[in-house]
A = this chain, B = another copy of it.
Amino acid sequence: MLDPEALLRAMFQAAVDAADPGLAVPKVLPARPKGRVLVVGGGKASARMAQAVEQVWGPCEGLVIVPHGAGLPTQGIEIVEAAHPVPDQAGSDAAMRMLRMVEALGPGDMALCLISGGGSSLMAAPGLGLSLADKQAVNAALLASGAPISEMNVVRKHLSALKGGRLAAAAHPAMVMTLTISDVPGDDLSVIASGPTVPDDSTVEDAREIIARYGLSLPPTVAEFLGTEGAETPKRTHPVFAMAETHLIAAPQASLLAAAEVARAAGVTPLILGDAIEGEAAEVGRVMAGIAAGAARHGTPARPPVALISGGETTVTVREAAGKGGRNSEFLLGFALKALPGIWGIACDTDGRDGSEHNAGAIWVPRVAANARTVDGKAYLKAHDAYSFFEATDGLVMTGPTHTNVNDFRAILVL
C-alpha cells in the first residue's frame, strides 16, 4: 500500500536534489586554470555553488551575493547577504565591489560566474551616475505600467552596471565561464538573473521606446543616463563573448524528471505537465484537481496510480488584505478545496521558502485532510491565508533554505 505522504515528500526531495549545486557543479567544473581566478555571482543557489567550487579547486578569491539567511561557510570566497526580492544598499555595494574586482583581471585570467535565480535583485548595481533610489523609482513606474516582464527587463538592463552582459564585459580580457541554475521556463540565459554574462539583444533605443510608449515618468538622472555612451549593453560582437562559456547545470525540467523517476519506481505513472505553468495560484490548483478527477474517473490521460508533476511560477493577486502564505500554499489550498477523495498533493518552492513565511510549501495527504474537516478552507483561501490553513491542519512543509532554486514544484497523486 502506497503512503501518499512519503511518496510526495520523496518526489519533492528528488526535485531539490537534482538541482543541488554540490552534485551539479563538480560535473562541469574544468581543472583549475593556471592564471588568476575570481569567483563571482549571485542568486539563491550561489553560496552552495561557491562551496562546491572550493570543494574541487580549494580556496578561491571572489565575492558572491545571496539572500539573507542563505549564506554558507566558504574557504576564501566572500559571501555577502543582501535583501531579496527588493534590492538594498548591501547588495548594491557588494555588486559594485564585484565589478571592480573583475575589472582588474587580465589576459589569461578567469572570471567564474555563479548565477542563479534571485541574482537580479541581489546584484542590483545602478549604472554610472544613477542611485539605488533612481532604480527603485524606475521599478515602481514599470510595475504600475502594466508592461510585460520582458519589456520591464529591457529597461532595467539598460540602467544597470552589471545586467545584460555587463559583468562579462567588465571582466574582459579575462576568460568568462558561467555556471547557471535556471529558475525560468525555457531556461533563457538572458533572463536568468537578467543575464549578467550573456550578450543583450535589446538596445537603448528599445528601452527609450518602451519608456515613451507607457508614458513612464522617470527621474531626470535616468533620461540623462540613457543619453550616455555607457548606457548601451554589450552585444554578441563584444570580444569577451568570443571566449565565454556558459553551462546550465540545473533546471526546472530536470528536477521534474527526477521526481518522475521516484514516482515510477514506486509503481506510479508520472505525467509531467510542464515546467512553465503560470496563472493565478488557486485557479491553477482547481485545474489540477480537474485533471486529477479525469484520471480518477476515466483513466485519462493515464490510469491511476498516476502523478501529475509540474513546475513554473504561479501568481497570487491580492485584492483585499492578505494573510500569510505564498503561491505554493495557495495553489495547494485551491487544489484541496476541489480535489476528489483519494487525490493528494504537494506544492513547494524548491528554494525552501514559499512567500511570506518560512515554510517551503504545503502538503495535502489523508492526515491533513482529516484535520481539515472542521476548518473553513474557503475562508482561508478568500483571505489569502493559506499558510494559516496548513498551519492549523499540520500540512506545512518545512525544509529551511535548500541553497538551490529551480522555481516551484508541484505533484498531484491519484491513487
Interface residues of A (CB under 8 A from B): 146, 185-186, 253, 256-257, 271-280, 283-284, 286-287, 289-295, 297-298, 300-301, 310, 312, 338, 378
Contact = CB atoms under 8 A, between A and B. Distances in A.
A298 B186 CA distance: 9
A278 B286 contact: yes
| Total copies of the chain | 2
A277 to B, nearest CB: 4
Nearest to A297: B186
Given A274-B290, A290-B310, A301-B301, 5 more contacts: A253-B297, A272-B300, A276-B290, A276-B293, A276-B294
A14 to B, nearest CB: 16
Nearest to A284: B287
Contact of A185 (B272, B293, B301): B293
A253 B301 CA distance: 11
A280 B277 contact: no
Nearest to A146: B378
A358 to B, nearest CB: 28
11 contacts: A185-B290, A186-B293, A257-B300, A272-B294, A274-B298, A274-B301, A278-B290, A278-B338, A279-B284, A283-B287, A290-B312
Nearest to A186: B297
Contact of A294 (B275, B289, B291, B292): B275
A277 B291 contact: yes
Contacts of A298: 253, 272, 274-275
A46 to B, nearest CB: 25
A294 B280 CA distance: 18
Interchain residue pairs A-B with the least CB separation, the first 9? A274-B294, A283-B283, A272-B300, A277-B290, A279-B286, A276-B293, A279-B283, A276-B290, A271-B301
A291 B300 CA distance: 16
A300 B311 CA distance: 12
Contacts of A294: 253, 272-277, 310
A290 B338 CA distance: 21
Contact of A287 (B185, B272, B279): B279
A153 to B, nearest CB: 17
Nearest to A283: B283
A280 B298 CA distance: 23
B272 A279 contact: no
Contacts of A297: 185-186, 253, 275-276
Given A278-B287, A283-B280, A338-B278, A273 B293 contact: no
A301 B279 contact: no
Given A185-B293, A280-B280, A301 B287 contact: no
Contact of A274 (B257, B274, B277, B293): B293
Contacts of A284: 279, 283, 287
A140 B297 CA distance: 33
Contacts of A186: 293, 297
A159 B146 CA distance: 49
Nearest to A260: B300
Contacts of A257: 300
A285 to B, nearest CB: 8
Contacts of A273: 290-291, 294, 300-301
A343 to B, nearest CB: 11
A115 to B, nearest CB: 21
A27 B280 CA distance: 44
Contacts of A271: 301
B286 A272 contact: no
Nearest to A313: B290
A77 B350 CA distance: 63
A253 B253 CA distance: 30
A301 B272 contact: yes
A249 to B, nearest CB: 17
